[in-house]
Amino acid sequence: MILAPLCAVSLIVVSITLWIKYKKTYTHWTKLGLKQRTTPWPLLGDFWPLCLGRMNLIELMDYFYYLNPESRYEAIYHLSYPAILLKDPDLIKQLAVKDFDYFTDRVNIAPSEEADGLWSNNLVALKGKKWRDMKLLLSGAFTSSKMRFLYQIISETSEDFVKHFLDKPEALIEVDLKEAFRMFSSDVIATSAFGVKVDSIENPHNEFFEMGKAATNFQGFLTVIKFFLLFLFPWLFRKLKIGFFPQKVITFFTNLIQDTVATREELNIVRPDVLQLLLEVKNGPRTELNVEKDRQFISSRLRMKEHSITNQDIVSHAFAFLLAGYETVSSTLSFTCHELAVNAHVQDKLRKEINETLDKCDGSITYEALLGMKYLGMVLSESLRKWPVIPVLDRVCVQQYTIPATRKEPAVSLNAGDRILISSRSIHHDVQYYAEPNKFDPDRFEENVINPFTYMPFGVGPRSCIGNRFAFLEIKLVLCDLLRNFEIVPVEKTQIPLKFAKRSMAVDVEKGFIVGLKRVKN
């Protein structure tokens, strides 16, 4: 008899407690005098349409961005965290660059450090001083001299990739670009970061490619739910030792790196790649690589002498290299080739530049010649503007900060833990900065007068991607090899215009990137 009233009272108490917490959490900005233009849901905040599959990430961020076109920022709730969406380029510059020390950290997608140690120790996830030290060190892996050495490795991978299609007898080869370029980027990462040789286009079921695909699979309703639950209840994931990445993926890449490291150390193998650089942090520099001539590397070593690095750190950084390059490179190549297929005049102009460069280089494009190809750079820049594969940037406030007031907007007080979001894709499509933003027009980059805070495909400020030079290198190489041999054309299955998929945490399209390859007539 007593049990029923007790249950009722308990339910009322819990309901009241949750209501108080809800009101406290989701009235944060209104208490500070800011206009609340959204309707946050408990736990999910303003991201409930994404969680429920009502909107994809692109649609949701555009919705936030255009709530009030006159404002410099928008006050929203990133799940249960207060967040400010920055829209004004000058304000982005102020917070992301000038006052960077207040916003040094990023939102961690894998709070369960014990279960996701493969991710937690890399440059993307590290915070504070650990991040600063590691950023200084890893910058030495992407100097011009390192890229020049890696050029030959990437070039060979690109040639093998294109040869696969040259060997096919069909006059018109129908290709799923995303899947094909995933194989290419997987092979490049395998040889340059993991020190292993694979050929995924010929052997698509090799374990390295399959595990890379599993690690970067962010599609499906269940994945979206897991992603949000991980953000909402990180303590539960830590308690249960549940990670964001499948255990089979963690085990595979951990064993691969540890075996490679053991082999190199045992047989005294020296290979100037990303993995070798990390080994030198652990064991000391190798004169065989002429590191005494690399001033940036020496400076990094001196600054890092108090920081110890373990094999697990090496595994984590190599895995981050896989995640950063696998999806972003394949997506950028897919969007670029789609645009070339539906904009034949751009493709013809680019092929002309490629052929002229080949003639100057006696049929084999050199590293220096590739860097000097202006129109190729313009095409790639426009592709990254229209289709940025990292559409949202984030930062976490690490100490009290105040956004100054203007005549139209009050000052905003940010506390440690509050979040900053930047919808780079929305800015890239804002008519204030780009006329006809939905038009693919490489010529807009001819004069190189773009405001860097309205163009952020690789991030912004000190925490921008340090591997962008590497990514540009492999993308440019394979585009040259592909276009010198093939014309990319639309086919019946080509989706025009492209439409973003609804239930995906990554930037993906509904019907894939299907095009045709026709051999170029000599």
Question: Residues forming the annotated binding site?
Answer: 465
Which segments of 353-498 are extended strands (E)? 392-396, 401-403, 412-414, 419-423, 486-489
Q: Please compute, for residue 29, the number of CA atoms within 13 A of its CA located in the half-sphere on the CB side.
A: 24
Which residues 6+ apart lie within 8 Å of 414 measured at CB? 84, 102, 397, 400, 401, 402, 403, 420
Q: Helix %, strand %, coil % for the chain, to 5?
A: 55, 10, 35
3-state secondary structure of 515: strand
Give the closest residue to 337 by CA, choosing from 219, 456, 179: 179
Residue 237 · residue 111 · CB < 8 Å? yes
Residue 207 · residue 251 · CB < 8 Å? no
Helices and strands: H and E segment counts in the chain: 21, 9
Give the closest residue to 189 by CA, choosing from 313, 367, 330, 380: 330
Number of residues that make up the chain? 522
Beta partners for 81? Answer: 78
Distance of CA 234 to the CA centre of its chain: 22
Alpha-carbon distance 324 to 246, whole Å?
A: 17
The sign of the torsion formed by the CA atoms of 206, 209, 214, 217 equals negative
* Peptide bond just before 497 cis, omega within 30 deg: yes
Alpha-carbon distance 138 to 177, whole Å?
A: 31
Beta partners for 392? Answer: 423
Q: What residues form the annotated binding site for heme? A: 465
Return the structure tokens found at 4.
Answer: 């029923």
Alpha-carbon distance 353 to 25, whole Å?
A: 56
Q: What is the DSSP letter of 405?
A: P
